Amino acid sequence: MPRRPFVAANWKMHKTVGETVDYARELVPRVGDAGDVDIVLAPPFPALPALVDAVADLGAGDRITVAAQNVHAEPQGAFTGEVSLPMLQACGVTAVIVGHSERRQLFGETDAGVDAKVRAVAAAGLTPIVCVGETLAEREAGRTFDVLDRQIDAGLAGLSREQAGAAVVAYEPVWAIGTGRVATPDQADAAHRRIRASLAARFGDDAAGACRIIYGGSVKPDNAAALMAQPDVDGALVGGASLDPAAFAEILAATRPPDSRIMEGRC
């Protein structure tokens, strides 16, 4: 069963509510026919309800869904500054990025914390987008696969087979995030194959074959097609380039399944 491509925009701490609505107005006409790709936008928390509404008002609610960049694992409580899953669900959010390397490196998120969040997101029926990836030092020490195995084991430990198959794993080598230094298609595919093997060992072949594994790290319009052409690369998590709707639309176009590209004479 072919995996439907999944492309998510991680805006990080960029864009006000007004800028978010303007972005939706610019993006939607550009992706009107991108029917074979799951398109996901992850703005900062304050813009989530406005983006859900804007996408629906523009008639694109069935093609574009909205994700949060983080969540607390508990449904409520004395956790100043945090946001819960019920709050996100009430806004119309359907996916959550968990364990981004910036959360791990700058805000002290651990594998155990990622596990708790991933469990909670999946139990609530939302899609966890679980980020994994090695640092430059780990790659240079030949430890890339060990790090990926550990992060997959720890981060997805609480999922059932079905939940693992429905999850999205984002392979984001830390050295490629925001640096302009992108993994080669071969490097990305090798890491994705290792992640899929790791998933298969824990959850079985069916779940591993269903799970979308997407690449993140300096994806741009000019390198997206080569990355997406790799058999185990099922989409992208895009940071910097997703802030420009024209650039993000170009990445989406490069991500379409081969058949739709042939039909439109893109091959």
Stretch that binds ligand PEP, among 63-71, 186-194, 232-240, 250-258 (CB under 6 A): 232-240
Whole-number Cα distances in Å, 259 to 189, 220, 223, 236, 265: 21, 22, 20, 19, 10
Q: Does 20 bind ligand PEP (CB under 6 A)?
A: no
Q: Could you give the CA distance from residue 145 to residue 134 in angstroms, rounded to a whole number?
A: 8
Q: Which member of 219, 228, 251, 252 binds ligand PEP (CB under 6 A)? A: 219
Q: Could you give the CA distance from residue 47 to residue 20 in angstroms, rounded to a whole number?
A: 7
Nearer to ligand PEP, 8 or 207 (CB): 8
Q: Does 65 bind ligand PEP (CB under 6 A)?
A: no
Tell me how many degrees the CA angle 217-219-224 measures, rounded to the nearest 5: 135
Whole-number Cα distances in Å, 205 to 48, 132, 172: 35, 20, 23
Q: Considering 100, 102, 134, 138, which one is annotated as catalytic? A: 100
Binding residues for ligand PEP, total number by CB under 6 A: 13
Three-state DSSP class for residue 68: strand
Three-state DSSP class for residue 128: strand
Rounded (10°) CA dihedral 253, 259, 264, 267: 80
Nearer to ligand PEP, 155 or 203 (CB): 155
| Residue 104 in tokens | 């791990």
Please confirm, yes or no, whether 100 is among the known catalytic residues: yes
Q: Which member of 44, 155, 165, 216 binds ligand PEP (CB under 6 A)? A: 216
Tell me how many degrees the CA angle 115-120-126 measures, rounded to the nearest 5: 115
Stretch that binds ligand PEP, among 16-24, 74-82, 105-113, 212-220 (CB under 6 A): 212-220
Q: Which member of 172, 189, 234, 250 binds ligand PEP (CB under 6 A)? A: 172
Q: Does 239 bind ligand PEP (CB under 6 A)?
A: yes
Q: Does 240 bind ligand PEP (CB under 6 A)?
A: yes
Q: Which member of 65, 144, 218, 230 binds ligand PEP (CB under 6 A)? A: 218
Q: Does 98 bind ligand PEP (CB under 6 A)?
A: no
Spatial CB neighbours of 189, under 8 Å, sequence gap ≥ 6: 230, 231, 232, 233
Nearer to ligand PEP, 47 or 241 (CB): 241
18 alpha-carbon distance from chain centroid: 24
Q: Considering 102, 134, 138, 172, which one is annotated as catalytic? A: 172
58: left (phi over 0), alpha (psi -120 to 50) or beta: alpha
Nearer to ligand PEP, 113 or 240 (CB): 240
Nearer to ligand PEP, 207 or 237 (CB): 237
The closest residue (CB) to ligand PEP is 239
Q: Does 238 bind ligand PEP (CB under 6 A)?
A: yes
Residues carrying an active site annotation: 100, 172
Q: Kindly list the residues in this chain that would bind ligand PEP in the complex (CB under 6 A).
A: 10, 172, 177-178, 216-219, 237-241
